[in-house]
Amino acid sequence: MTQFEIGAKDFLLDGRPFRIVSGAMHYWRVVPEQWANRIAWARYLGLNTIETYVPWNLHEPAPGVVSFAGGLDVRRYLELIAEAGLYAIVRPGPYICAELDFGGLPAWLLRPPMARVRSSDPAFTDRVAVWFSTLFAQLVDLQCTHGGPVLAMQVENEFGAYLPDREYLGWLVTQFRAGGIEVPLLTSDHGAFSRAGSYPGLLATMNFGTHPARAWRALAEVQPTGPRMCMEFWNGWFDHWGEPHHRRAPDEAAAVLDELLASGASVNLYMFCGGTNFGFTNGANTSDWAGGAYQPTITSYDYDAPLSEAGRPTAKFDHYRRILARHVGVPDGAPPPLPASLDERTIPLTATIKLLDVLDQLTEPVLANTPVTMETLGQNFGFVCYRFVAEGPGRSTLRVPGIRDRGQVLVDGLEQGVLDRAAGTTTVELDLPPGVVRVDVLVENQGRVNFGSSLTDPKGILGMITLGGLSVTELVMYPLSLDNLEELDWARADAARADTPGPVLCAGHFEIDEPADTHLALPGWTKGVAWVNGFNLGRYWDLGPQRTLYLPGPLLRAGANQLWVLELHRLTKPEVRFTASADLG
């Protein structure tokens, strides 16, 4: 049993001054078979603590349906941290940002009538209360006061930058305490937002990437006494599709870390190891954050961190270890083992199925007279196909206001244009052949906004569809989570051919002797999603900057393996590559 307290100047561990030297690593962004190795690298770097958020949306995908299994086993993750001799900081939100879809809030909160999230609205707080009671039951005995590794927890996240509701913040504090959370509670904000986001009795911490002295001056205006901590030292950054990959020079970042530690403060490296936005879990930015533009985050969450997405130390790791050796000391001995790498090879894709031909095998259609959002359809992630019939011949303008986020428009299965929220494209000129034709608008949810005042971000089509100025009032909608591709009859698939128009599902098989890490490269492919042995690796897009998808070795098996790829636009060459190194642009 350990006592962790907030002193007048220092953190106190069993009454003695204690400096937190922590690193962020999110358990859901690393496959569980690799948790122990990544934790060992944190200890070797010289960290004494690991920090993690808790993603409510992934743990509770539907109201009352909660999972702590597999990659969501937060208890096991914290136990491994303890077994490595490290402590933990847990940040359960309920809002966490983290560049995660909807900032970690469940998509089902966006079903009409929508709850006012991050507020005292009972439609929101009632659900938070149920979730917290379930979560805290998992965490109570892992607090340091019960012999576990958890030193502290954070209430909400960067709340001062939102629309501060003091009543809500106070209500959250009561939920933590009522749920048996005894350890100190913290808040975190950046800059001047600290004043609005702080709360009496909670230690305010700061988030920044440069100028520690300036940050401490801002913190002192809010909190004159107490230990100083940078809860998020931004030693790298995340990427959006279509922008350059963010890199931060190791020596420059190390110099700021040196200054931060020299000030006597505690620190949490954000990130120590970033990991991956597997599946459709990435978030997006817009409005006050991105100047009005919608910008979805890429699949990789490498973050230019000291430990790479693939669990390998970078130059930044070496710089940091030297600095930590000088300030707090680092372990002696050899470093942990590096993950093994698979030999490079080309994987042929041998079978294809047109996605629009098998909608009824993948989902149940829904009929409506107006478009229905993804959330109203009971779906969290993926695509929705909106289908209707029209009559040609001739040219006609299809108008789809409120596209969220990107829609391929296809007439009798052939693409005639793309609607794009990011580009502001809401119309496509259709060339309709004679007779009755089928029009499909395949809408991709590219990630819900995760930060700022535009946090409420339902997906699908939010307005009325018109064709030639007339409303389309007879729709068939197909919600496509694409988590059941194994149900397709691949035995009846077509042979894969170059220049096959999309959207097309492609399948291939390959054999390996021993599972090991690799990266999936798709040169010549345009945009889509890839799965290995049924696990969704995430999205690819030739827009960049990311050019490869990380494929952790534990997802492979000795012998036969299965690969599926959904190409939205055109299959130019039915093959992919396994490469030893990442290409993040």
Please spell the DSSP secondary structure of 532-563, one letter per residue. Answer: ETTEEEEEEETTSS--EEEE-GGG--SEEEEE
Write down the pLDDT at residue 519.
Answer: 98
Tokens read off for 312: 């390998």
Q: Which residues contact 83 (CB under 8 A, 6 or more apart)?
A: none
- The answer to whether residues 538 and 278 touch, using CB atoms and an 8 Å cutoff, is yes
Per the residue annotation, which of 60, 232, 415, 567 is the catalytic one?
A: 232
364 is catalytic: no
Q: How far apart are CA 24 and CA 99, in angstroms?
A: 14
Q: Which fold has domain 345-354+484-579?
A: Jelly Rolls (2.60.120)
Q: Which fold has domain 4-232?
A: TIM Barrel (3.20.20)
Q: How far apart are CA 335 and CA 40, in angstroms?
A: 8
Just give the CATH number of 364-480. 2.60.120.260
Q: How far apart are CA 466 and CA 428, in angstroms?
A: 11
Q: pTM of the predicted model, to two decimals?
A: 0.97
Domain spans of the chain, in order of start:
4-232, 345-354+484-579, 364-480
Task: Dump strand ranges (E) for 360-465.
Answer: 366-368, 383-399, 403-404, 406-411, 414-420, 427-444, 460-461
Q: Do domains 345-354+484-579 and 364-480 have the same CATH topology?
A: yes
Q: How far apart are CA 528 and CA 569, in angstroms?
A: 8
Element at 37 (helix H, strand E): helix 35-45
At 51 the three-state DSSP class reads strand
Write down the pLDDT at residue 349.
Answer: 97
158 is catalytic: yes
- The answer to whether residues 552 and 526 touch, using CB atoms and an 8 Å cutoff, is no
Q: How far apart are CA 86 and CA 119, in angstroms?
A: 35
Per the residue annotation, which of 60, 156, 158, 575 is the catalytic one?
A: 158
**Beta 150-154 vs 185-189: how paired, if at all?**
parallel
**Beta 295-296 vs 185-189: how paired, if at all?**
unpaired
Q: How far apart are CA 565 and CA 217, in angstroms?
A: 51
Distance from chain centroid for Cα 115? 22
Walk along the chain (585 residues) in steps of 10 and give the mean pLDDT of each run: 96 98 99 98 98 98 98 98 98 98 98 95 98 98 98 97 90 98 97 90 98 96 96 98 97 98 98 98 78 90 98 98 98 96 97 97 97 98 98 95 97 98 96 97 98 92 97 97 94 93 97 98 98 98 98 98 98 97 97
Q: Which residues contact 268 (CB under 8 A, 6 or more apart)?
A: 20, 22, 23, 24, 49, 51, 89, 229, 230, 231, 232, 233
Please give the DSSP secondary-structure letter assigned to residue 88: E
Q: Give the tens place of pLDDT for each residue, 548-560.
A: 999 999 999 999 9
At 261 the three-state DSSP class reads helix
**Cα-Cα-Cα-Cα dihedral of 233, 4, 34, 305, to 10°?**
10
- The answer to whether residues 229 and 20 touch, using CB atoms and an 8 Å cutoff, is yes
Write down the pLDDT at residue 288.
Answer: 53
- Biggest CA pair distance of the chain: 83
Q: Give the tens place of pLDDT for each residue, 387-410.
A: 999 998 999 999 999 999 999 999
